[in-house]
A = this chain, B = another copy of it.
Amino acid sequence: MTAAPAEPRVCSIARTLDIVGEKWALLAVREVFLGDRRFDEMVKRTGAPRDTLAARLRTLVNAGVLERRPYSEHPARFEYFLTAAGLDLYPVITTLRTWGDKYLAGDDGPPMSVEHRCGHELAARLVCEACGEPVSPRDTRPVYPERRGLQPQAFGAAVPGA
């Protein structure tokens, strides 16, 4: 028996994960969002192995997510800043936090909250820009360009019992 050849989906999720799909990469991005811009501080506040964090930061800089700027010449030291692309990872970071707050907080409750400028604690919700309704997997279906014209999948096909 020969295994079927792999035909990985051409997919924006997979492409994104090639850059940030690893714990230490996203925790480095988290640190910069929280204002920790320096390597030693990031090591301390993530717990990442130094070599691993250095490699992830290189990837993030090469991918245009972070930008590094020198703050010391002797020795050469850098701070990391979010680019526009990096700032656009805020929804990814926020939805990860929301999920952890809901499912992994335990009896102590969420360890950190975020305040929105409106004065409320941020509870972030994903909505459809067109109709403003909350986005649920029950109400969506994938559309593949190469399958246009074919019978589309039903809404909510991923949802057991939907």
A interface residue numbers (CB < 8 A to B): 3-23, 26-27, 30, 32-35, 40, 43-47, 64, 81-82, 85, 87-105, 110-131, 133, 135-137, 139-145, 152-153, 155, 157-160
Contact = CB atoms under 8 A, between A and B. Distances in A.
Q: How many of these chains are in the complex?
A: 2
15 contacts: A6-B44, A7-B44, A8-B44, A8-B45, A11-B100, A12-B99, A12-B104, A13-B100, A14-B46, A20-B96, A33-B158, A35-B158, A90-B135, A92-B96, A114-B140
B135 A122 contact: yes
A143 B160 CA distance: 37
Contacts of A128: 116, 118, 120, 122-125
